[in-house]
């Protein structure tokens, strides 16, 4: 049955070979394959949406039907490739490529990339998902969907499970259904990192840089501390980075030549999938979209551009239609409640606040374990606020250099600053014009993000798309500075700098080094339940004990009464739900979600973490307390009304 998971993997590679074989250019260079690769990522992402939403409408989100539709998609692409001889042309182009053109230094850097990718892949496959947001809502919503066989809203105590964009979790759901558990959940972020590195090198090539500078750009992106740490988690910042890189690539390609229909489609798909993945995609993507559409309105016929805009909007709408509709039905807004949107945005209208706001956000990337340096950073931020006469809240960033939610990127931020003078010194050269515009768009996208998204001590993780896109700027700057062979040395150094974060991930370390990591042993040696609770070690015992008590009772309908900040997914993991046949539902929820409560659900056990000394809950009697406020109620007299 596990072979089912290879169907979507084969579908991706078949799509890539088809698109590669359909290219008009009959030559083969190192960069030719990367455009089709990014297109294949986008098409694969769109298929995830189509399969998930269609089966959700029919209440058929199950292993059998997901496998059938992925097999159908694979069959279609194979028939197209066979009839149009695309696979044959792709194989000819691959055979035509001379591997002798790759120098030994290229080989060294490729080996570095391979080592990083393989080690991260091994961690992603071995580590039980344990990111805080994953345990709160990323994976909790996935198992609810798998249990309910649809993507519809359901009763919950943590509403981010409902209103946050869904693409990354929908991809995890497809892999989970086909594999049977969460073993492949971390691969969505891992592959997004691989795709982003491919895209960054391709962007650098479009701007006229050679192979060594393209490798340097990818090396810059591959060594970002936050990226290395996130690549083995079920977060979604690397996923929106991939969609943003795809969007940037095809927008930049449009500045070189007129796009083909499938390339125009790629701009729409990149935007639609990005908006379906995370709200932070909007500010990052806006400058790129304006860069594409505004010049076309000026230079190209208005009617043609209007038609393109309509087609673009339609595709974005279709991709997001199911998700937006569910949110409108529940909350009256496509992106969730207005209060939530307002809490996450803080638009800086007054120019006087711009520099202080930017300074505070950028300062998060200079937080290190060195107390004196942190004092200087805090003092600098306060000085900037005082200079502009802007009041500052207590700015005390959380220090955790190797945590996937908090890790700073000091080296990369310094390189961003040092890169800018290269463009100033080369101003006026014809070859810098497009590169300068790209740099300006990347900077603008970051500034829009900083001036729109509300400050958060954990917000440094949201800077990942900017740093990845800046890899291209760094690579092209090396080209303009004519560093020549020093480029290889810098690329190797960049890859070496990733080693501490690669080996000492706080939640999933290759080398266990407590207290610098949350585990005493390597992620490859620790039991899965230890990895699962790496960030919540104090909850491991009580959670395991209550799960064992439920198993010993033979109860297959389990209710939850927990607070919004309580991690939910570990209950599912420990009970092996829903694949074990155990059904888990919230027994209490918000008034506007009560319509989703299933009246047929009659739990024989309820796990409660906010019940204090209560002896009865919904007709079930208190059985035992397991520590940390976790109480188990059990019995056969469940009543939906509160006692």
| Structural domains in the chain (count) | 1
Let me know: does 237 contact 465? Beta carbons within 8 Å. Answer: yes
- Both tokens of 336, joined, read 């969730």
Residues in the chain: 643
> What is the mean pLDDT of the segment spanning 71-95?
91
Q: Is 504 helix (H, G, I), strand (E, B) or coil?
A: coil
- pLDDT value at residue 100: 67
Residue 458 has pLDDT above 60, yes or no: yes
Residue-level pLDDT at 26: 47
Q: State the residue for tokens 């397991």.
A: 626
C-alpha torsion angle, residues 205, 500, 186, 551 (rounded to 10): 180
Mean pLDDT, to the nearest integer, of 229-253? Answer: 97
Q: What is the pLDDT of residue 6?
A: 93
Residue 394: CA count within 13 A, CB half-sphere = 2
DSSP label at 345? Answer: B
pLDDT tens digits, one per residue of 500-538:
999 999 999 999 999 889 999 999 999 999 999 999 999
Q: Which domain holds residue 547?
A: 537-634
Question: Rounded distance, CA 365 to CA 547, Å?
Answer: 40
Residue 105's nearest CA partner among 490, 598, 626 is 490
Q: Check residue 265 and give its pLDDT.
A: 94
Is residue 562 assigned to a domain? yes
What pLDDT sits at residue 30? 43
Highest mean pLDDT among 74-78, 515-519, 613-617: 74-78
Is residue 445 domain-resident? no
- The DSSP 8-state label assigned to residue 138 in this structure reads I
Q: 227 - beta bridge partners?
A: none
- Is 587 inside a domain boundary? yes
- Mean pLDDT in residue range 440-467: 94
- In a domain? residue 604: yes
Residue 575 lies in a domain: yes
In a domain, 596, yes or no: yes
* pLDDT digit string, tens, across residues 14-64: 999 999 998 765 444 544 789 999 999 999 999 999 999 999 999 999 999
Q: Measured between alpha carbons, how far is 261 from 311 in angstroms, rounded to an integer?
A: 11
430, part of any domain: no
Residue 54 belongs to a domain: no
Residue 66 pLDDT > 90, yes or no? yes
């Amino acid at each position: 049955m596990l072979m089912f998971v290879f169907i979507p993997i084969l579908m991706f590679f078949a799509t890539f070979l088809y698109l590669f074989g359909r290219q008009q250019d009959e030559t083969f260079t190192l960069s030719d394959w990367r455009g089709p690769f990014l297109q294949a990522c986008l098409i694969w992402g769109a298929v995830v949406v189509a399969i998930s939403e269609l089966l959700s409408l029919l209440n058929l989100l199950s292993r059998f039907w997901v496998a059938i539709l992925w097999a159908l998609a694979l069959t279609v692409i194979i028939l197209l490739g066979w009839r149009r001889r695309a696979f044959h042309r792709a194989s000819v182009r691959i055979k035509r490529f001379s591997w002798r053109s790759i120098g030994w230094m290229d080989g060294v850097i490729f080996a570095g990339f391979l080592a990083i990718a393989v080690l991260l892949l091994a961690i992603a496959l071995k580590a039980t998902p344990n990111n805080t947001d994953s345990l709160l809502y990323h994976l909790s919503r996935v198992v609810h969907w798998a249990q309910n066989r649809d993507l519809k809203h359901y009763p919950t105590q943590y509403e981010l499970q409902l209103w946050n964009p869904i693409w990354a979790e929908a991809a995890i759901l497809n892999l989970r259904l086909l594999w049977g558990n969460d073993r492949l959940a971390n691969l969505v972020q891992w592959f997004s990192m691989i795709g982003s590195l491919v895209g960054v090198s391709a962007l650098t090539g479009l701007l006229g840089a050679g192979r060594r500078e393209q490798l340097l750009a990818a090396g810059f992106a591959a060594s970002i501390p936050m990226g290395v740490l996130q690549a083995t988690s079920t977060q979604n910042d690397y996923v929106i980075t991939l969609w943003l890189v795809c969007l940037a690539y095809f927008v930049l390609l449009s500045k070189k030549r007129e796009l083909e229909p499938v390339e125009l489609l790629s701009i729409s798909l990149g935007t639609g999938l990005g908006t379906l993945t995370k709200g932070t995609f909007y500010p990052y993507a806006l400058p790129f979209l304006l860069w594409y559409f505004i010049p076309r309105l000026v230079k190209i016929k208005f009617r043609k551009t209007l038609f393109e805009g309509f087609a673009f909007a339609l595709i974005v709408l279709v991709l997001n239609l199911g998700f937006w509709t569910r949110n409108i039905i529940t909350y009256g807004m496509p992106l969730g409640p207005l209060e939530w949107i307002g809490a996450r945005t803080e638009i800086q209208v007054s120019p006087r606040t711009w520099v202080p706001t930017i300074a505070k956000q950028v300062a998060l990337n200079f937080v290190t374990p060195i107390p004196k340096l942190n004092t200087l950073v805090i003092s600098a931020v306060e000085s900037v606020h005082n200079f502009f006469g802007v009041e500052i809240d207590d700015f005390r960033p959380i220090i955790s250099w190797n945590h996937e939610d908090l890790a700073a990127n000091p080296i990369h931020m310094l390189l961003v600053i040092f890169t800018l003078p290269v463009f100033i010194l080369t101003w006026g050269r014809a070859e810098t014009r497009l590169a300068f515009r790209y740099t300006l768009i990347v900077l603008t996208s970051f500034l829009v993000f900083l001036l729109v998204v509300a400050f958060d001590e954990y917000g440094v993780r949201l800077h990942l798309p900017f740093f990845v896109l800046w890899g291209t700027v760094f690579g092209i700057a090396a080209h303009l500075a004519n560093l020549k062979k020093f480029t290889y040395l810098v690329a190797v150094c960049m890859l070496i700098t990733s080693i501490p974060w690669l080996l000492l991930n706080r939640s999933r370390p290759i080398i266990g080094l407590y207290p610098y990591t949350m585990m005493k042993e390597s992620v490859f040696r620790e039991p899965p339940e230890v990895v699962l609770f790496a960030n919540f070690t104090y909850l491991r015992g009580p959670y395991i004990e209550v799960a064992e008590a439920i198993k010993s009772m033979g109860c297959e309908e389990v209710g939850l009464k927990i607070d919004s900040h309580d991690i939910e997914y570990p209950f599912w993991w420990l009970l092996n739900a829903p694949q074990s046949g155990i059904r888990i539902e919230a027994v209490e929820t918000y008034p506007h979600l009560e319509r989703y409560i299933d009246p047929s659900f009659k739990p024989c056990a309820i796990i409660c973490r906010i019940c204090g000394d209560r002896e009865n809950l919904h007709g079930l009697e208190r059985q035992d307390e397991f520590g940390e406020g976790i109480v188990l109620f059990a019995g056969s007299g469940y009543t939906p009304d509160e006692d």
